Structure formats: C-alpha cells, structure tokens
Amino acid sequence: MVLEEAFGNRTLEAAGSIPASSTTQDQSRGAARREAGALNELTGIVWVVASGVLFGSQFVPGKYCTEFEAGAYNISMSLAILVGSILALAVLGTGPIAPGPAALCALAGAIWSLGNYLLLVAVALAGMARAFVAINFSAVLSFAGGMVFLGELPALGGARLLAMLGAVGLVLLGAWLVTTTTPRGEAAGRAGGGRGRVGRGLLAAFVATVFFSTYNVLTAWVLNRRGVGPGPTFVAVAPGIVVGAFLAALLSRRTLLRHWRRAPARGHLLAGAQGLIWATAMVCILFGWMGAGIAVGTAVQVGTQTVVGAMWGIARFGEFDALPDRRGAFARFAAGAALTVAGIAAIGFL
C-alpha cells in the first residue's frame, strides 16, 4: 500500500481497532493521543506543520490577482482543488468509501467552500491581520470538536490535559502576536473603509471559523472513526468544494458567474495555483490528522500558517516597510514565532 511504503512497516489500522485502555503510563499516553488515528503522534505533528507552511503560503498567488472578486476567485480555486484531489491519489492511495461517508465528505467540502468565500471577503474588508486573528479561533472550536465529537485525548488526566491546553494556548498566543505586526493600512482593508467595513469583515471571518471547524470535524470523523483512507476522503470532499463555490457565487451576486467566465486567463491561473497549493496542504493535513487528531492538529496548523503568512508578508511584500516602529514589530514577530514553536514542541512531547 502507498501509506505503508511512506511510513515503513507500520500498519495503518482503523481508529476503532486501537485499544483505549492500557496498564502503563506510556500506553495511556499513546491511547489518549492515538485514539483519533493510525500514525505516530510525532509523525502526525510533522505532517501538520508541513501543512501549515503550505496553508500559510497559499495566499501568495492571490496577492498578485486583481482580476477576480472573492466569489469568482473561489470558483477557479475550487476547480484546481478538484484536479489536485485526483492527482493526490498517487500519494494518498485509493480504497473503498461507502455512500454515507462519501456524502458526508461532500457536505464537508461544500461547508469548507462557503467558509473560504467568507475568508476571502474578510481579508478584503478587514485586512489580513484582523481576519487571521479571528480565523485562529477555529483552532479552539476544532479542539473542542475533537474532544466532544471524536473522543480525542480521552485518557489524559487533569494535569496533562491542562498542560495540553496550555500548549495550545501558546500556539494561539504566538500566532496572535504575529498578526499584530501587520501594518494598519493593510488591517483596515484594501479600500481603506471605515469601522463598519472592518466590522463586517470580522463578522465574516468569525462565521468562517464555524464553517472551517465543522469541516474539520466531519472530515476527521470519516477519516479516523469510519476508517476511510485519506485518498477516498479527499476525492469525496473535492466535488463538494466545487458545488459550494458555485453556490456561494450564486448567493452573493448573480453577475459573479458572468464575471468568472470573462476573467483573463492570468486570474484563473493564479486562483488555480492557490487551489493546487491548498490541495497539497490537504494531503499533509490528512496524514497529520491520522496521528495528531484535529484537537491538537488544528492548533498547530493555524499557528504555523499564521507565522508563515506573516513571513511572506515581511520578506516578499515588504509589509514592515511602512511601519513607524519597525524594531518593535520585529520584536513582536520574533516573540510570536518563538511562542508558536514552543507550543508545537510541547504538544509533540506531552
């Protein structure tokens, strides 16, 4: 099997076949961390960090795209994700998936696509800094969803659970510090709108976190609770993403479909590039969830992608150049990056 070749001789069993009870502390720790998936937890964290790097880089093509509104851009991105999901079968492998889990995956994809549309709107209205502060809340919702609906971390005692929550808090605090380094002009939105414009953007970002967290829980349930392979899971999710993108465009404004058809090829290529980057990140996060689960995995992913996104802004787009206090901004960025790395390391060894 492809997965067995990628991870040596380790057998990738369904989550239900892994015992939750044990007689030693190490086995208890393993059951607590492995109840959600079939990979070693540290291996899962590595995959999640890789996904965060890619998710944080996916917005780079969009920086160069001025041909699309959010809804039209989302359509081309979703079509590229569909292509990417098929190509990803070479890495993720194929396998059976029952109609019920397949339908649930398609629903999850549509939910994600609606959330992605809201995120694109949020960035346009409120700017990347404020939007990403709100988006980081998806880690909290996913952490709660993983514990409540997926039974992740069931054997953690009180002290260890508090330590895990503290580590997740470090990741989120670090990510928040990084977002405070973005220039105010960017945070106010591209059009420089007033408080009402920013408020609408923040509302869109917060609602998007609910969509993203719901998507995370549904997909992880199919992957880890129903034992469906990552390849079939992704392929089942992708059509829902396309349907959700067209639905979002129709609901937002009828002329968006006409605008999408008439957009220059350059715009489609840039949106497609972001979709393929996202699809690659999805391959990594599917592996990551099999080891870390979504409770821990989403916190690590969100923290990593926020730091990486800020680094792109600093190194490539000069987002610190216009700041009056560049030294203070660099200090906050360094502190935020250090806290995020420390939180990720703590999660990996708890």
Tens-place pLDDT, residues 238-260: 999 999 999 988 887 767 788 89
Separation of alpha carbons 290 and 230, rounded Å: 9
CB 59 within 8 A of CB 277: no
pLDDT band at 12 (very low <50, low <70, confident <90, very high): very low
Token pair of 47 as six digits: 């995959």
Task: Find the mean pLDDT for residues 323-337.
Answer: 81
* pLDDT tens-digit readout, 283-321: 999 999 888 888 788 888 888 887 888 788 777 877 667
Q: Which of residues 24 and 155 earns the better pLDDT score?
A: 155
What pTM did the predictor assign?
Answer: 0.76
The whole-number pLDDT of residue 62 equals 82
Q: What is the mean pLDDT of residues 195-210?
A: 80
**d(C-alpha 226, C-alpha 203), whole Å:** 34
pLDDT tens for residues 131-189?
766 677 777 778 778 877 777 766 566 787 788 788 888 888 887 787 676 655 544 44
* Domain ranges (residues) in the chain: 37-349
CB 80 within 8 A of CB 332: no
Four-residue CA torsion sign, 166, 219, 78, 253: negative
Place of tokens 């992608």: 305
**Closest among 246, 294, 276, 7 to 140, alpha carbons compared:** 294
Q: How many of the other CB atoms lie within 10 Å of CB of 190?
A: 12
Among 58-62, 195-199, 219-223, 302-306, the minimum mean pLDDT is found in 195-199
Q: What is the CB neighbour count within 10 angstroms for residue 108?
A: 26
Give residue 167's identity as a one-letter amino acid code: A
Task: Report pLDDT for 209.
Answer: 87
- For 261-274, what is each residue's pLDDT tens digit? 888 899 999 999 99
